Amino acid sequence: MSHSEAELVETSANETPASEIAGQGSGAEWLSRYSSSLMGVFGTPQRVLVRGAGCLVWDADGKEYLDLLGGIAVNAMGHAHPFVTSVIASQLATLGHVSNFFTSPTQIALAEKLLALAKAPAGSKVFFANSGTEANEAAFKLARRNGEAGKRSKIIALEGAFHGRTMGALALTAKEAYRAPFEPLPGGVVHIPFGDIDALRAAVDDTTAAVFLEPIQGEAGVRPLGTDYLQAAREATTAAGALLILDEVQTGIGRTGKWLASEDAGIVPDAITLAKGLGGGFPVGALITFGEAASSLLSAGQHGTTFGGNPVATAAALATLHAIESQGVLENVRTVGAFLRDGLAAVDGVTEVRGEGLLIGFDLDTDVAPAVVQAGLDAGFIINSPGPRTIRLAPPLILSTEQAGRFIAALPALIQTAKDAK
């Protein structure tokens, strides 16, 4: 028996929250179902989260948390931001997906907006992906297209680099534990010491296709590269005819109190990759290529994606950028970030504080960072430990001074609890 379109639509046309379709349960019940239905690549999730508002989230047992990780630098405008939410919903209710045989006004407007924010010169272009690793995958292909085939086989990345988990991005990622199980990875990538300008100058030569850099290494514990290094990289790559590709997946979109962390270096790279904060929680990635030469390296048919740049994703990003711009968020990031870093530096047991804006890493005097994360959860704070003695914070960019102060006040007890448990 067949149905008319109206009948099929009608059966689902009521206002049903997703939680009604997914069902209800306690945290423990959900986690038991998780472990029997989801692949174990992430280990056991710390909590089952069901709701968010601004910088707060709630778990399935009703416990409230101050989210100081923001989905790992993603939820730029916090959770359930009314403007971002309504733009996404209205775009979805108007036109949700069309494939890249077609385009849409939000896709074009977002590309133009990103080129303007990046102060990209004439001839610059954008490619939309769905994640950071995909944006870097596109950048990897761009690098391969630089120079005559085979003659520029070397791609340079840094020790400590994290560029993603798909095969090309994984080849750029330094961590042995992530790479080794998947060898052979795409070839030609060499990793040079972090922050060593002489090593960079020695490595970049006329066989180099590209240099990939994160202005601040996030996964390595929030390690800033510095403007001198970025400028030296621009000089060396220009002289050698290599591309300079900046991975601003974690540092971009206001995270450091500027649209791009690399702004202060005053350089024009050949490409920048973005994701994380761009969609304000909706999956969007982007590759920006600077100038005609870089932008023409990938031609028709050489790359593609079904979802990349879809109307809802690009509407989400437009809404996020608009909200950041119209609500003075970059200034908030600078103010609250400075307050947070100063406060953390004064806490007993904290030996170093790094980062810019609201991308902050701090080291402890003992290897108790994972236990501090656990103590934080018990006390209602979501934080992250990228290393045994390093804590990372990447909260929503709308974090208030009061909320930052609450964490600073709680931290000594969290460190003590972690040390007592050791």
Query: Cα(241)–Cα(207) distance, rounded to whole angstroms?
Result: 9
Provide the minimum distance between the beta carbon of 173 and ligand PLP in the complex, in angstroms, as a whole number: 8
Q: Tell which residue, 256, 260, 292, 264, has the closest CA to residue 273.
A: 260
216 or 240: CB nearest ligand PLP: 216
Provide the minimum distance between the beta carbon of 250 and ligand PLP in the complex, in angstroms, as a whole number: 4
38 or 409: CB nearest ligand PLP: 38
Provide the minimum distance between the beta carbon of 163 and ligand PLP in the complex, in angstroms, as a whole number: 5
- Examine the residue annotation and report whether 307 is marked as an active-site residue of this protein: no
218 or 224: CB nearest ligand PLP: 218
Query: Cα(192)–Cα(203) distance, rounded to whole angstroms?
Result: 8
CB-nearest residue to ligand PLP: 132
Query: Cα(234)–Cα(245) distance, rounded to whole angstroms?
Result: 10
Q: Are residues 175 and 182 in contact, defined by beta-carbon separation less than 8 angstroms? A: no
203 or 278: CB nearest ligand PLP: 278
For the chain, the distance separating the N- and C-terminal CA atoms, rounded to the nearest angstrom, is 66
Write the DSSP symbol of residue 325: H
271 or 375: CB nearest ligand PLP: 271
Query: Cα(114)–Cα(154) distance, rounded to whole angstroms?
Result: 29
Provide the minimum distance between the beta carbon of 165 and ligand PLP in the complex, in angstroms, as a whole number: 6
81: Cα separation from own chain's centroid:
19
Provide the minimum distance between the beta carbon of 72 and ligand PLP in the complex, in angstroms, as a whole number: 6
**Which residue is it, tokens 């709680």?**
410
Q: For the chain, how big is the Rg over CA atoms in Å?
A: 22
- Examine the residue annotation and report whether 162 is marked as an active-site residue of this protein: yes
* Catalytic residue selected from 127, 128, 140, 162: 162
- Examine the residue annotation and report whether 247 is marked as an active-site residue of this protein: yes
2 Cβ neighbours under 8 A, 6+ residues apart? none
Tell me the CA distances in angstroms from 353 to 161, 345, 361, 362, one per residue in order: 20, 6, 6, 4
**Which residue is it, tokens 């902050």?**
360
Provide the minimum distance between the beta carbon of 411 and ligand PLP in the complex, in angstroms, as a whole number: 24
Tell me the CA distances in angstroms from 96 to 16, 17, 161, 309, one per residue in order: 18, 18, 35, 11
Provide the minimum distance between the beta carbon of 133 and ligand PLP in the complex, in angstroms, as a whole number: 3
Write the DSSP symbol of residue 42: G
Provide the minimum distance between the beta carbon of 253 and ligand PLP in the complex, in angstroms, as a whole number: 12
Q: Which residues lie near ligand PLP (CB under 6 A)?
A: 72, 131-133, 136, 162-164, 214, 218-219, 247, 249-250, 275
163 or 354: CB nearest ligand PLP: 163
| Token pair listed for 388 | 């045994």
275 or 340: CB nearest ligand PLP: 275
Q: Tell which residue, 302, 324, 379, has the closest CA to residue 140.
A: 302
* Catalytic residue selected from 247, 270, 363, 381: 247
* Catalytic residue selected from 212, 270, 276, 362: 276
DSSP states of 187-252: S-EEEE-TT-HHHHHHH--TTEEEEEE-SEETTTTSEE--HHHHHHHHHHHHHHT-EEEEE-TTTT
* E strand or H helix at 45: none
- In this structure, the number of other CB atoms found within 10 A of the CB of residue 183 comes to 8
212 or 407: CB nearest ligand PLP: 212
**Residues known to be catalytic:** 162, 247, 276
